[in-house]
Structure 1
Amino acid sequence: MRRIVAAAVVLTLFAGTAACTDGKDKARAAAAATKINVGVIPIIDVAPIYLGKAKGFFSSRGIDLTLSPEQGGAAIVGGVLEGKYQFGFSNVTSLLAAQSGGAPLKAVAAGVASNGRAGRDFSAIVVPDASKIRSARDLAGKSIAVNTLKNLGDTTVRQSVRRAGGKADNLRFVAMPFPEMPGALQSRAVDAAWVVEPTLSAVLTQGGRIVASNFVDTAADLTVALYFTSQGTITAKPKLVTDFTEAIRESLRYAAAHPEEVRDVVGTYTQITDTVRIAMILPSWPEDINRQSIERVALLGQRDGIFKQRPVLDQLLP
């Protein structure tokens, strides 16, 4: 009996020591993790990085990830250039504009892509149900809400108007955050709005109507946005860039394979109802970047006068 008791005491002490050691190891690992701040937009596009953080794809690679919401990609580009963010998520037009202006930026991974389904893409031009606007052609001379001016919204909306046979040179764009657009449509503060999920489903559940799928009208399987960093970070911290890129790619794969978890996680960083959560139209999250579609956006952006000079895709894309 004494031997059994002694053995039990030894095992208890060993277990306590092991638990203490394990706790210290975890604390050391947490302390050693590289803290990074990533600029994102609170829309469905960035669901993969939120899922990746929750699933430990970043922490397992020694990254302590903070996600900071911004209104649009242009602000995130500025944040990365200023050192506020180590990495960022931005639409391709913002990145092309920055690159054409000489900004030392480099994409590291795909961000999000159109699903290619007209009328059922995650991005659309919408109007109130009672509006007399029946197609993109009718948008000529009308006010259209976009999240930022002289950016992807302008270019792709114009392309929808052109494809419908309308005049795209006298559209009146109004900048506002995506969450404010359903109210602006209801109050008739604007005639139409370019929205992405979850704002798209919010508009539709309030009686709004889709008049065009602007991403689908622009290019087949359009690569809409990318994750990126500065050339300085790539030079100074190549391992961090590699680890971040691997974590993002794993996050993209996971999101593509788990659509219900995507719907759930969007509700953790945006204010949506259960109806909207269930109704949301999901984008695509391919790991590969569709270069041809970005070339198309670059060409249209030049036509719209967004870029100071022609962007050099080889300098931007990985």
Structure 2
Amino acid sequence: MGIRRWACVAFGIAIAASIVSGCGGSDDKKSASGLEKTELKVGTLPIVDDSPFFLALKNGYFKAEGLKVTPTTLANGEEGITRLQSGGIDLAWSSYPNAIMAVDSGKVQLRIVVDGYTATKHLFSVLALPKSKIKKPADLVNKKVSVNGLKGLGPLLLSSALKTAGVDPKSVKMVAVPFPQMPAQLQAGAIDAAWITEPFVTQASQRLGATEIIDTATGPADGLPIAGFVSTAAGAKKYPKTFAAFQRAMAKAQALAANRSQVEQILPTYIKTITPQVASTITIGTFPTSLNKARLQRVPDLMQEFGLISNHLDMQTMLVPQS
């Protein structure tokens, strides 16, 4: 009886040791990855700018870095910043003007983790219909021009282009209209012209015969950084190795996106309004593979010039170091 009891005890010890050993192996594996967390919720927008992110998902770049990344579709960049503050997401796609204005307000501290998209010629255009009397920048005086928000990238690029063309930006009536609604409002006469981006530039040109009045990604805005993935300052401090892994995966995807055919193929998979035909004809910006302070500094400097922020911002304070 004693022998049987000893055997049972020994068996129980062996099982317990096995369980402990198994758990220890799991912990070792997790610590060996060096990541503070392996799951990230990322806010994205159904726009061309985000194509490298979806290429990274498709090609397993995040998985290769030990990350499980779940995209969450945002209504707009402002929602992304709000959800970052509440802790609903870890990273969010945001235009730089929106992120910079949020920081300038003093309500939130943000960090740029990935520089995502850079403007190129004819990417952000002011369009008017052929029957319109608007043929040149000066014709926009006292006219209604739609922008996707009364603060942010639209007013910044439009004001810069108008000033370069010798037109007082204050003489133009900017009205807020979501990008998808701009072609219809242009056709209905609710607006006189539209500051608009791809794929809507191509769609309005093909369907309505709309023509470009001003290319706003020129002059001071030529090659201007547009948007990227941002986090809260607290998140960047808490998860440096995790965000470094995200940066490495995105750098591969950004480099891959330099091949236009890769972008064309991925666009219809997450933007349902883009057909392969449209994807093959739209203007596409460029995708940086590194964070460059001098390049990014152009954004707050231009914003301060046009009164979108009141304080000088040193962009170095917003950058997450790259590994």
TM-score of the alignment, normalized to the shorter chain, above 0.5: yes
Conserved? CA contact 2:265–2:276, under 8 Å: no
Q: Look up the SS of the partner of 2:116 in the other structure.
A: strand
Q: Look up the SS of the partner of 1:85 in the other structure.
A: coil
C-alpha distance in 2 between matches for 1:199 and 1:71: 17
C-alpha distance in 2 between matches for 1:209 and 1:275: 20
Q: CA deviation at 1:293?
A: 4.8
C-alpha distance in 1 between matches for 2:136 and 2:300: 25
Kindly provide the CA deviation profile for residues 220-275 of structure 1, in whole angstroms up to 9, marking residues without a partner as x: 32111122111111222222111111111111011112x11211211122212343
The aligned residue for residue 52 of structure 1 is: 56
C-alpha distance in 1 between matches for 2:176 and 2:247: 32
The aligned residue for residue 221 of structure 2 is: 219
Q: Which amino acid aligns with 2:232?
A: S
Q: Which amino acid aligns with 1:189?
A: A
Provide closer, same or farther for how the CA distance between residues 242 and 292 of structure 1 changes in structure 2, counting only shifts above 3 A. Answer: closer
C-alpha distance in 2 between matches for 1:289 and 1:193: 31
Conserved? CA contact 1:149–1:175, under 8 Å: yes
1:111 aligns with 2:116: yes
TM (norm. structure 1) is 0.82
C-alpha distance in 2 between matches for 1:71 and 1:176: 14
C-alpha distance in 2 between matches for 1:292 and 1:214: 21
Conserved? CA contact 1:71–1:147, under 8 Å: no
The aligned residue for residue 314 of structure 1 is: 316
Conserved? CA contact 1:155–1:301, under 8 Å: yes
The aligned residue for residue 182 of structure 1 is: 183
Kindly provide the CA deviation profile for residues 88-131 of structure 1, in whole angstroms up to 9, marking residues without a partner as x: 1111111211222232211112110123x3xxx32212122222
Provide closer, same or farther for how the CA distance between residues 306 and 297 of structure 1 changes in structure 2, counting only shifts above 3 A. Answer: same
Q: 2:257 aligns with which of 250, 255, 259?
A: 255
Q: Show structure 1 runs of 5+ residues with no match.
A: 1-24
C-alpha distance in 2 between matches for 1:244 and 1:61: 8
C-alpha distance in 2 between matches for 1:288 and 1:135: 37
Conserved? CA contact 1:70–1:76, under 8 Å: yes
C-alpha distance in 2 between matches for 1:280 and 1:48: 16
Q: Look up the SS of the partner of 1:174 in the other structure.
A: strand
- Which aligned pairs between 1:34-45 and structure 2 lie closer than 5 A? 34-45=38-49
Q: CA deviation at 1:199?
A: 1.3
- Kindly name which structure, 1 or 2, has the bigger radius of gyration based on alpha carbons: 2
C-alpha distance in 2 between matches for 1:78 and 1:236: 19
Q: Which amino acid aligns with 1:198?
A: P
Provide closer, same or farther for how the CA distance between residues 87 and 239 of structure 1 changes in structure 2, counting only shifts above 3 A. Answer: same
Kindly provide the CA deviation profile for residues 47-70 of structure 1, in whole angstroms up to 9, marking residues without a partner as x: 110111111111222222222233
C-alpha distance in 2 between matches for 1:187 and 1:198: 20
C-alpha distance in 2 between matches for 1:291 and 1:228: 15
Q: How well do the aligned residues superpose, as a CA RMSD in angstroms?
A: 2.3
Q: Which amino acid aligns with 1:114?
A: A
Farther-moved stretch of structure 1 (99-108 vs 243-252): 99-108
C-alpha distance in 1 between matches for 2:70 and 2:82: 17
The aligned residue for residue 285 of structure 1 is: 287
Q: Look up the SS of the partner of 2:258 in the other structure.
A: helix
Conserved? CA contact 1:127–1:185, under 8 Å: yes
Q: CA deviation at 1:204?
A: 1.2
C-alpha distance in 2 between matches for 1:276 and 1:85: 31
Q: CA deviation at 1:82?
A: 2.0
C-alpha distance in 2 between matches for 1:48 and 1:302: 30
Aligned residues: 285
Q: CA deviation at 1:308?
A: 4.2
1:87 aligns with 2:83: no
C-alpha distance in 2 between matches for 1:233 and 1:151: 24
C-alpha distance in 2 between matches for 1:202 and 1:227: 27
Q: CA deviation at 1:289?
A: 4.2
1:100 aligns with 2:101: no
C-alpha distance in 2 between matches for 1:187 and 1:203: 13
